[in-house]
Every structure is written in C-alpha cells, then in structure tokens.
Amino acid sequence: MASTSTFDVVSKVDKQEVSNALNQAQKEIAQRYDFRGVGAEIDFSGESLLIKANSEERAKAVLDVFESKLVKRGISLKSLETGEPFASGKEYRIGLSIKEGIAQDVAKKISKLIRDEGPKSVKATIQGDELRVSSKSRDDLQDTIALLKGFEDADLQFVNMR
C-alpha cells in the first residue's frame, strides 16, 4: 500500500524583514539630498503603510526606494499591494498593504491550474488561506511545484512536504 505524500502551498511574508526594509528605507529617505524639504516619509501602522510627499513624483520615488529595500531583503513585490497616489491637502499619499495568505479566487486559479496542467494523480484542496496538494507519487508533487513556480498572481511558498 503506497502512502499519500502532501505539501502545502502558502503565501507568507516575514514581518521582521518588512520592518527591516522599512527602517532602511526611512534612513535612506532621511539622508538623501533629493528628499530634503519635500516632506517625504513612510508611516507604518499595523498591516498598512502610508507614503507621504509634497508631489506625486516624490511619493513614487519614495515607493521605489521602499520596493528596492524589500527586494534586497528577499521579499517578493507580489506580496505588496500598492494603491494609486492621491492628493490629501498639500501632500500626495500612496497607501500600501502587505498581502498574506492566498485569497479564495487565487486559490481557485491555482487549483484549476493543477487540475488542467499538472500530473493527473495530483489533487489540490483549499484549506482556508492555503492549499494542500496531495498525490501518491512524490515525483508528481515535485513536478507540480515546478509548475507552480511560474505562477504570476501571488508569491507562493511550498512547505510541509511529507
């Protein structure tokens, strides 16, 4: 009797690394000459971030600095949800949030991708904000991981391989 092998597909972000990237970005913004006197800053409150500057271009430049720090720390930009710049009084703001977990519609897309293009013995079940993928063949599971590495809609990690 062959036992069933499984792994979980999750989308998690290391909060400490986000905090470190935020601190690095704040230091760089405070030190750079082109950000002096433009009111450029990044505020962090719970799950959301807010970028402020006196012009839309400066706000986008601050966002670019923050994104570069995230990439250097190994955090995918797929897990960063960026809003459009909007005017608030005399300053421009950009709202950001860090996405964790796999949304229901994205989980359905992943499940459909596995059904359509993955090995036939592989089954995917949605469990809250993650997916459990199971098969009798470990090779089929590894082929499924290779298939999902090309998935563009979310930052995916593969854990609990058994």
Pairing of strands 157-159, 91-98: unpaired
DSSP 81: E
**pLDDT single digits (tens) 32-64:** 888 888 888 888 877 789 998 898 889 899 999
As a whole number of angstroms, the distance between CA 36 and CA 154 comes to 36
**pLDDT single digits (tens) 74-122:** 888 888 888 888 888 888 999 998 888 888 888 898 888 888 888 888 8
pLDDT band at residue 1, thresholds of 50, 70 and 90?
very low
What per-residue confidence (pLDDT) applies to 32? 87
pLDDT band at residue 72, thresholds of 50, 70 and 90?
very high
141 touches 111 (CB < 8 A): no
Over residues 126-147, mean pLDDT: 87
What per-residue confidence (pLDDT) applies to 2? 55
